[in-house]
Structure 1
Amino acid sequence: MSSPPVSELNERTREIFRLVVENYIASGQPVGSKTLSGEEALNLSPASIRSVLAELESLGLLAAPHTSAGRMPTETGLRLFVDGMMQVAEPSAEERAAIERRLSAPGPIEQALEQVSAMLSDLSGAAGMVMVPRREPRLMQMTLVPLSPVRALAILVAEDGQVENRVVPLDAPLSPSSLEMASNYLSSRLSGRTLAEAASLMGEEIASGRSQLDEASRTLVERGLAVWSEDAARRPVLIVRGQANLLDETALGDIERVRSLIDDLENKQSIAGLLDSAREAQATRIFIGSENRLFALSGSSVIASPYRDREGNVVGVLGVIGPTRLNYARVVPMVDFTARSLGKLIG
């Protein structure tokens, strides 16, 4: 059901609707006319309030889960509130400082992404998510250094200066000349290419016998590429932290919904696909409940924002996932600020 424009609701109806949504977000419980009649700004009797609540229910903006149990916003009502009525609360100076402090800690980018996911969870009271950047760096060289008779260290250097190391197991001891030959061959074929591009080229050359490598060097090259390719395939596409936050007292009353949400989070590829749809967004995106087919059963909401490098290129997406009663006014600007802060770190 499409919701009516906010402009079609009179001032009294808008105010009662706003109070229902805000009370529901704060408590997770349906809101009754007695609760609302205590609001000084309304100055209305419970009977008058019940009449407005019934009108809002007929419009599809509120629902009564149980007889005389009060009203709660529907997904349609939440969408109307988020798009037309919500007044965002910017992160406090303390929250901004905490976000920037966590991001400025020394360490590899993967560690920073872990910190971002955990931090979003802590600040939002939901689960934090960060999609790992899908960047394939252009490479400059790979050097193989002997560690022991049965192990070598592969040092991969990217054009942007990033350095990664991996240990490559050896079937048999190799001579220094074989290691040097393999290193020179790798560097000549890797230079200016991504690992996938270089691996494809070298695979064709080795298979056709055009590589001019001796058998030991050829085996080492194949083993080294296999280690790097396997490592890249195993890297998580999504880092999720704070699932325990989803098990609050309110959620325990709807354990099937929570179980469905946990199952959704276990299927990280599907969640990553949802976040990926926010890559082209110019601002933070909000997915409410069954607006996205993935959450038709769990009735969850996602707030997601792309993060960019200094050139403005989107390198990933971060956000939070939780029940539809997320505090959108607080979480949306927090996600947006974190995305901008992480973008500065990515460089």
Structure 2
Amino acid sequence: MAATPPIAELTDRARDIFRRVVDGYLEHGVPVGSKTLAQAGLNLSPASIRNVLAQLESLGLLAAPHTSAGRMPTEAGLRLFVDGMMQAHEPSADERAQIEARAGVHGPVEEALAATTAALSGLSACAGLVMVPKREAVLRSIGFMPLGQGQALAVLVAEDGAVENRVVALPIGLPHGALVEAGNYLTATMGGLTLAEARARVERELAAGRGELDAAARALVERGLAVWSEDGARRPVLIVRGQGRLLDDADAADLERVRGLLDDLEGKQEVAALLDSARAGDATRIFIGAENKLFALSGSSVIAKPFRGQDGRVVGVVGVIGPTRLNYARVVPMVDFTAATLARLMG
């Protein structure tokens, strides 16, 4: 396939007609015909307009889905429009207020991230996405609850109120008192530390014989530390909100594509990898259709923007996913503003 020509290679007439076709398609979702363009004040005959449309089609910027239909932008045409012709519309004061209000939700930071992503989804009519590294929680307490059949539930409570559970295999013949003793010891030793810091401290104390535990409680402490460290503590947290909006906006002919997109969103590891590719640099990344293999079949676009913490390092990526027929001029600045809001939240 030939490379997409730069916008400067198009004549003024071709640029004007191309922009009108893209604007009309993005607004109404149907191909734009020469008759519609002739009625839009172009001061050109339908024959002249058809000639320009044919040239734009030969360049791979427009396509005619049916013989008698008008033209719609190809993915290459959308890329040219987004990169060279789009005039961004900043979020309104009300839109900014909605995003900032949801980012101010009290409680664990993941709840604020989820609420902000839901607000972005509602305002953009897309599915909202946010990905952040698994944050190392500062611990408040750890306790053990018996489950029976040689298992216990290790319950970790963080300073921000977040609670996580893990199932721990119990040593044979472990007395109930050892569960209490191990939990009290870990809470006293680990409180106010991250899991990595607490693990290092406990291991030092046990190695030096300073941990005043009997053998059974000591074995439980070691197993508890192991199970808290072994699973996906370093995997990123991916939050997706508003998938249903993709179905709401789809017509009957588009439902199969949207179902494919929803299936793609279930594969969160692949989506996380896509968002992770947007971490480099500060610019907003726009993936259109087949430009990304993950969403090639569902014909979807992703707009993503990294956000930074107080130390200047990238701490996450926020964005939206929807059909290629997005209002890019409105949604791109909205994603930018949400990224700036989350940067303040994570700072």
TM-score with structure 1 setting the length: 0.84
Letter in 2 for 1:173: H
Residue in 1 that maps onto 2:7: 6
String of CA shifts for 1:160-207, please: whole Å, max 9, x gaps.
Answer: x6565556788642169934774289539x957627x9389959x79x
String of CA shifts for 1:236-272, please: whole Å, max 9, x gaps.
Answer: 7311111122124654313332222111111011011
For residues 105 and 95 of structure 1, the distance between their equivalents in structure 2, rounded to whole angstroms, comes to 16
Residue in 2 that maps onto 1:254: 254
Once the two structures are overlaid, the 10-residue window that deviates more, 284-293 or 100-109, is 100-109
For residues 326 and 177 of structure 1, the distance between their equivalents in structure 2, rounded to whole angstroms, comes to 56
Contact preservation (8 Å) 2:142, 2:155: yes
Contact preservation (8 Å) 1:144, 1:154: yes
For residues 220 and 283 of structure 2, the distance between their equivalents in structure 1, rounded to whole angstroms, comes to 47
Residue 263 of structure 2 corresponds to residue 263 of structure 1: yes
For residues 250 and 147 of structure 1, the distance between their equivalents in structure 2, rounded to whole angstroms, comes to 48
Contact preservation (8 Å) 2:121, 2:128: yes
Contact preservation (8 Å) 1:24, 1:72: yes
For residues 63 and 346 of structure 1, the distance between their equivalents in structure 2, rounded to whole angstroms, comes to 44
- Secondary structure at the counterpart of residue 253 of structure 1: helix
For residues 310 and 223 of structure 2, the distance between their equivalents in structure 1, rounded to whole angstroms, comes to 36
Change over 3 Å in CA distance of 1:149–1:304 after alignment to 2: closer
Residue in 2 that maps onto 1:25: 26
Change over 3 Å in CA distance of 1:199–1:172 after alignment to 2: farther
For residues 134 and 52 of structure 1, the distance between their equivalents in structure 2, rounded to whole angstroms, comes to 52
Contact preservation (8 Å) 1:246, 1:258: yes
For residues 268 and 175 of structure 1, the distance between their equivalents in structure 2, rounded to whole angstroms, comes to 39
- Secondary structure at the counterpart of residue 100 of structure 2: helix
Offset at 1:222? Answer: 3.8
Q: How does 1:231-250 map to 2 (within 5 A)?
A: 237-248=237-248, 250=250
Root mean square deviation, CA, Å: 3.5
String of CA shifts for 1:66-107, please: whole Å, max 9, x gaps.
Answer: 101111101110000000000000001111111111111222
For residues 241 and 109 of structure 1, the distance between their equivalents in structure 2, rounded to whole angstroms, comes to 16
- Secondary structure at the counterpart of residue 50 of structure 2: helix
Offset at 1:133? Answer: 3.0
Change over 3 Å in CA distance of 1:174–1:293 after alignment to 2: same
Change over 3 Å in CA distance of 1:304–1:185 after alignment to 2: same
Contact preservation (8 Å) 2:136, 2:195: no
String of CA shifts for 1:103-161, please: whole Å, max 9, x gaps.
Answer: 11222111111112211111111111111334335x5x66456889998985556xxx6
For residues 121 and 243 of structure 2, the distance between their equivalents in structure 1, rounded to whole angstroms, comes to 8
For residues 93 and 6 of structure 2, the distance between their equivalents in structure 1, rounded to whole angstroms, comes to 35
Residue in 2 that maps onto 1:60: 60
Letter in 1 for 2:269: Q
Change over 3 Å in CA distance of 1:174–1:167 after alignment to 2: farther
The alignment of Structure 1 onto Structure 2 pairs a total of residues equal to: 336
Q: Note the residue ranges of structure 2 that are not aligned, 5 or more in a row.
A: none
Residue in 2 that maps onto 1:194: 196
For residues 69 and 129 of structure 1, the distance between their equivalents in structure 2, rounded to whole angstroms, comes to 35
Once the two structures are overlaid, the 10-residue window that deviates more, 54-63 or 169-178, is 169-178
Offset at 1:7? Answer: 0.9
Change over 3 Å in CA distance of 1:31–1:163 after alignment to 2: same
Contact preservation (8 Å) 1:319, 1:335: yes
For residues 146 and 198 of structure 1, the distance between their equivalents in structure 2, rounded to whole angstroms, comes to 17
String of CA shifts for 1:199-220, please: whole Å, max 9, x gaps.
Answer: 89959x79xx998853321243
Change over 3 Å in CA distance of 1:304–1:166 after alignment to 2: closer
- Secondary structure at the counterpart of residue 15 of structure 2: helix
For residues 24 and 310 of structure 2, the distance between their equivalents in structure 1, rounded to whole angstroms, comes to 40
Q: What percentage of aligned pairs have identical amino acids? A: 58
Contact preservation (8 Å) 1:131, 1:237: yes
For residues 177 and 61 of structure 2, the distance between their equivalents in structure 1, rounded to whole angstroms, comes to 72
For residues 47 and 103 of structure 1, the distance between their equivalents in structure 2, rounded to whole angstroms, comes to 53
Residue in 2 that maps onto 1:300: 300
TM-score with structure 2 setting the length: 0.84
Contact preservation (8 Å) 2:128, 2:241: yes
Once the two structures are overlaid, the 10-residue window that deviates more, 102-111 or 88-97, is 102-111
Q: How does 1:213-224 map to 2 (within 5 A)?
A: 213-224=213-224
For residues 317 and 109 of structure 1, the distance between their equivalents in structure 2, rounded to whole angstroms, comes to 15
Letter in 1 for 2:123: L
Offset at 1:327? Answer: 0.6
Letter in 1 for 2:246: L
Contact preservation (8 Å) 1:237, 1:269: no
String of CA shifts for 1:273-316, please: whole Å, max 9, x gaps.
Answer: 00000011311110011111112211110000011112221111
